[in-house]
Amino acid sequence: MPNKPSESLPGKFLEQLETVLDPQEIQDFRKSLAKASPTSIRFNPHKPISSASNMDPVPWCPTAYYLPERPSFTLDPSFHGGAYYVQEASSTFLHHILSTIQLPPSSIALDLCAAPGGKSTLLSSYLGETGIVVANEVIKSRAQVLKENIIKWGLGNTIVTQNDPSHFSDLEGFFDIVLVDAPCSGEGMFRKDPAAISEWSPENVSLCVARQQRIIDQVGALPKGGGYLIYATCTYNRKENEESIAFLTREFAYDPVRIPVREEWGIRESEIAVEDDTYYGYRFFPHQVTGEGLFISVLRRTGNSDQSVGLTKEFRHSHLKRVSPKDIPEEISSQLDSTRAIRLYQLGESYFAIPEKKQPIFEKLADCLNIRYFGVELGQVIRGEWLPSHEWALSVLEKKNIPRLELSRDEALKFLKKDSISADNSQKGWLLITYLGLPLGWVKNLGNRVNNYYPKAWRIRS
Ligand code: SAM
């Protein structure tokens, strides 16, 4: 029984690899699969914790670093507080792309195939307070994981939706940037996930191509004129990569975008000739970069299609209601910074905040899409009693007057396991639990006991 991915590669995969690598390189590629997969993390600039002094930087992303070995992330409270995201290094090249292309200051981004959220959280950080990200995932269980990662990241500029690509047809010309990180045959994950090898077959590649073309057909018109479409896969074959780009450019009008890459990065540029134009793709191979396999290409939509939205006088929605600060409990409104312009909504017993300037965009999206999370959930009022939400604890939105209880690592782990923790009686009521200054969640100090409000579904089970 072969135990290294390099020994068990399907013959047909190797035949196909010959169309992208020469024979010597195929040897190097196979050797690289026998090595350990590098571990990398990308820090959350809005939740700074400590310097990355012992780590090697990922050269194309200033917030990403390689770790000398893979630690137990579960046992690091700052991981649960959203201080960093464990992201494969090649994927963080998206940062370099974003910093190269010219995006308007308050861009609207769509990440169409977003779970578990690596690229959505990168987009969220890159666009920051002025931008907005729609992080969409069609599969329900994966949309739940995406939602949790967006909540942990905590910027409040992201809307999580669960829609099929066909549901976006009312949003043509709406986005400044559309990212299609397409479901693919996963050849670039052979080292990290050897199960991908047994799932690989030429038939599966063909199924992936058909699915990718269907997705491209449904979303090729979503970027505004002058907006960008970024297409990525974690696979090597030309059918799912260069041929998908050729398909896109035959169906829709796009200009090529060339991304400068440094030679020492080991990234390979691929030219894609379509009629009179040459488009570009960027290929990552594990024998050339410290990372896994990736293909990524950037195109710019021609023409001037632009669906701008204005605020409607009334907002009619089956579940969501606009509310004003005077409609929400004083316990919540008094915590918010009055200088930060926000708009409030009620969904059932919960109250949510979004940045004021995003109101027309949000309401348009809420009209068209199945929204699973948006902005920051502040809390609920149940039978007249205010319950601050875990989402608010993890968000960067202020919690002005709430006392904090800083815990040691061991105590923080107890809190994250939903075990009981102790607090002295000097501060009663709601306390924000922090570790290294990073909020982790809520407890309520009743004097004779402390109730732990860490969500049951999120608790550490080990
Ligand atoms: N962008 C993600 C990240 O960086 O964390 C990884 C996305 S993964 C490569 C592709 C995603 O596409 C999966 O979450 C998968 O559930 C989703 N997907 C599967 N079938 C799809 C379809 N027909 N249309 C859109 N997305 C689909």
Distance CA 251, CA 173 (A): 15
Task: Calculate how far, in angstroms, residue 114's C-alpha sits from the geometric centre of ligand 1.
Answer: 6
**pLDDT for 140:** 98
Q: Find out whether the beta carbon of 116 lies less than 6 Å from any atom of ligand 1.
A: yes
Q: Find out whether the beta carbon of 181 lies less than 6 Å from any atom of ligand 1.
A: yes
Name the nearest CA neighbour of 39 among 292, 225, 241, 262: 292
Please choose from 42, 111, 113 the residue to mutate so as to test ligand 1's pocket, defined by most ligand atoms within 8 A of CB: 113
Distance CA 190, CA 285 (A): 11
Task: Find out whether the peptide bond into 286 is cis, omega within 30 degrees of 0.
Answer: no
Q: Do residues 127 and 109 lie in contact, with contact meaning Cβ atoms separated by under 8 Å?
A: yes
C-alpha pair distances (Å), 28 with each of 32, 43, 287, 290:
6, 31, 6, 13
In the block, residue with structure tokens 């969640």: 441
Task: Calculate how far, in angstroms, residue 231's C-alpha sits from the geometric centre of ligand 1.
Answer: 12
Domains of the chain: 5-301 (3.40.50.150), 403-462 (3.10.450.720)
CB under 8 Å to 276, separation ≥6 — which residues?
Answer: none
**pLDDT for 304:** 85
Task: Calculate how far, in angstroms, residue 428's C-alpha sits from the geometric centre of ligand 1.
Answer: 45
Distance CA 368, CA 396 (A): 28
Q: Find out whether the beta carbon of 193 lies less than 6 Å from any atom of ligand 1.
A: no
Q: Find out whether the beta carbon of 118 lies less than 6 Å from any atom of ligand 1.
A: yes
**pLDDT for 325:** 84
Shortest-distance Cα residue to atom 20 of ligand 1: 183
**pLDDT for 335:** 77
Task: Calculate how far, in angstroms, residue 396's C-alpha sits from the geometric centre of ligand 1.
Answer: 27
Q: What is the mean pLDDT of each run of 10 residues along the chain (462 residues)?
A: 67 96 96 96 93 86 96 96 98 98 93 98 96 98 98 98 98 97 97 93 98 98 97 98 98 98 98 96 98 98 86 88 87 74 93 94 96 96 90 92 94 97 90 96 95 97 82
Q: Find out whether the beta carbon of 215 lies less than 6 Å from any atom of ligand 1.
A: yes
**pLDDT for 400:** 79
**pLDDT for 398:** 85
Q: Is 125 helix (H, G, I), strand (E, B) or coil?
A: helix
Neighbours of 54 (CB within 10 A): 8
DSSP string, 238-306: TTTTHHHHHHHHHHS-EEE------GGGT-EEEEEEETTEEEEEEEE-TTTSSS--EEEEEEEE-S---
DSSP string, 129-171: GG-EEEEE-SSHHHHHHHHHHHHHH--S-EEEE---GGGGGGG
| Residue 183 Cα: closest atom of ligand 1 | 10
Task: Calculate how far, in angstroms, residue 69's C-alpha sits from the geometric centre of ligand 1.
Answer: 28
Q: Find out whether the beta carbon of 114 lies less than 6 Å from any atom of ligand 1.
A: yes
| Residue 214 Cα: closest atom of ligand 1 | 23
94-111 burial, b if ≥16 CB within 10 A, otherwise e? bbbbbeeeebeebbbbbb
**pLDDT for 310:** 80
Could you tell me whether strands 223-233 and 175-181 are parallel, antiparallel, or unpaired per DSSP bridges? parallel
**pLDDT for 52:** 66
